[in-house]
A and B are shown apart, each in its own frame.
Chain A
């Protein structure tokens, strides 16, 4: 009887093993609402650890309830002030970048509810905006002019963003060398501080050097070209036909703010 039960559970496990193979995109209509439900407590600042780490200094020392209450108000107001300044700065940077675009995307600010994926092998964000705010799968998420990632799934009031650094992320990027040559490649996410560039073809005059900027390319209409992805930190011998070992340090730094901008197509 015991053996039969173990076999039954093994069969169930084989089923769960097969599920993501048969349906690699998952079941967004089922998963997104549960994700929103599990992330719901983070809408309150006290239950949003990212907001504690990203901004506020909660050092106390004041005596009395009134002083503590005032201190709390001051901290919240200060945080709101810096959040708005950050949002304005991000909008200004983005506005500079998008000058000349005929059909400007709307930059919709979204608060970060969760900055880490519960799975230690994945990298994602949970935002407090969803399909009711116009968010759709594939839209670009930026921090000023820095590319953060793309929307991976959306529920009515939340969205999950696949970060540039997610090990299974793959984005087409353009590298601009110091002598002005442009080449395209793919950047793959990974667990380390730096990300590998793939499929960068060595061309005549292409000399990749540490410090060269890596930007988004124009491969995806929902991701504007020219957003900063990062900088080259290491490049192998560029005499080869194909430059195989270029490492990029991503510019995204989620600790410096509690909001990001989602680029929603303009009308």
Chain B
């Protein structure tokens, strides 16, 4: 079930920038649901295995984008690895804590994406990437809040985070 949710999330995340209104330049800084899911995996995961799912999600994002394969795979994997907790750590972020983690993860992802582009494109603007990441982080946190709360409530992707097997144990 978790893999189906992952693919459905990828379809939604690829479509969401088109659905954003021009009001407030939201369409220019559209929510990045790929990053939101990677952060959620890191925060809710019960071990480092979640990094693999993030990399897979990133590879799907690369396929749906002009970025060559591996670009978002690296970025999302790194974001999840940064947030992933070792097995046994029971602290959980919820509500505003999760939204703040999503916003922070989005900024980190943008900076990593800019750093990642350096070997291929010399004139990468790191400061501009950081500045542009702030509104994206805000909209990502706002848009992903109800969706991630839905995932938490229904437990649809718990087999990706390892919570289902942790509960069974």
- State the majority secondary structure of interface residues on B: helix
- A17 near B81 with CB under 8 A, answer no
CB distance from A94 to the nearest CB of B (A): 25
Task: Collect the chain A residues with CB atoms within 8 Å of residue B72's CB.
Answer: 119
Q: Assess whether B11 is interfacial by the CB under 8 Å rule.
A: yes
Query: Which residues of chain B come closer than 8 Å to A32, judged between CB atoms?
Result: 63
Assess whether A114 is in contact with B18, with CB atoms less than 8 Å apart: yes
Whether A24 touches B61, Cβ cut-off 8 Å, given contacts A114-B15, A191-B128, is no
- Which segment of A160-168, A214-222, A226-234 sits at the interface? A160-168
A16 with B58: in contact, given A49-B19, A122-B67 (CB under 8 Å)?
A: yes
Chain B residues within 8 Å of A119, by CB = 61, 65-67, 71-72, 113
Check A116 against B18 for contact (C-beta < 8 Å). yes
**Stretch of A39-47, A72-80, A82-90, A99-107 contacting B (4+ beta carbons < 8 Å):** A39-47
A73 to B72, CA, bound (A): 41
Q: Which single member of B65, B69, B77, B128 contacts A124 (CB below 8 Å)?
A: B65
A20 pairs with B19, CB closer than 8 A: no
Given A17-B70, A120-B30, answer yes or no on A34-B63 (Cβ-Cβ < 8 Å): yes
Q: In the complex the two chains form, is B73's CB within 8 Å of A118's CB?
A: no
A12 and B63 contact, CB distance less than 8 A: no
State which size class the interface on A falls in. Answer: 35 or more
Shortest A18–chain B CB gap in Å is: 8
Is A116 a contact of B27 with CB atoms below 8 Å? yes
Of all chain A residues, the one with the shortest Cβ separation from B33 is: A118
CA distance in complex: A167, B119 (Å): 15
CB of A9 within 8 A of CB of B81, answer yes
> With A9-B51, A12-B51 known to touch, is A21 a contact of B120 (CB < 8 Å)?
yes
In the bound complex, residues from chain A placing their C-beta under 8 Å from that of B163 are: none
Q: Is B13 an interface residue (CB 8 A)?
A: yes
Residues of B within 8 A of A24 (CB): 68, 120
List residues of B (106-126) whose CB comes within 8 Å of A's CBs: 110, 113-114, 116-117, 119-121
Partner of A118, one of B14, B87, B129: B14
Contacts of B86 in A (CB 8 A): 2
B113 pairs with A26, CB closer than 8 A: no
Indicate if the CB atoms of A121 and B113 lie closer than 8 Å: yes
A34 and B81 form a contact (CB under 8 A) = no
Q: Which residues of B contact A117 (CB under 8 A)?
A: 17, 65-66
Q: Do B66 and A27 have beta carbons less than 8 Å apart? A: no
A35 touches B116 (CB 8 A): no
Contact with A along B94-112 (1 / 0, CB 8 A): 0000000000000000100
B143 proximal to A (CB < 8 A): no
Contact with A along B1-32 (1 / 0, CB 8 A): 00000000011011111110110000101101
Interface positions of A (Cβ within 8 A of B): 2, 5-6, 9-10, 12-13, 15-21, 23-27, 30-32, 34-35, 38-39, 41-42, 47-50, 52-53, 114-124, 126, 152, 160, 162, 166-168, 191, 255
Cβ-closest 10 pairs across A and B: A19-B70, A49-B19, A116-B17, A26-B68, A34-B63, A49-B18, A20-B68, A16-B74, A16-B73, A119-B65
Q: A30-B69, A38-B63 are in contact. List 10 more A-B contacts (CB 8 A).
A: A6-B81, A19-B74, A20-B120, A23-B68, A48-B18, A53-B21, A115-B18, A119-B71, A124-B65, A160-B66
User: Can you report 6 residue pairs joining A to B where beta carbons are below 8 Å apart?
Assistant: A2-B87, A6-B81, A12-B51, A20-B71, A42-B15, A119-B67
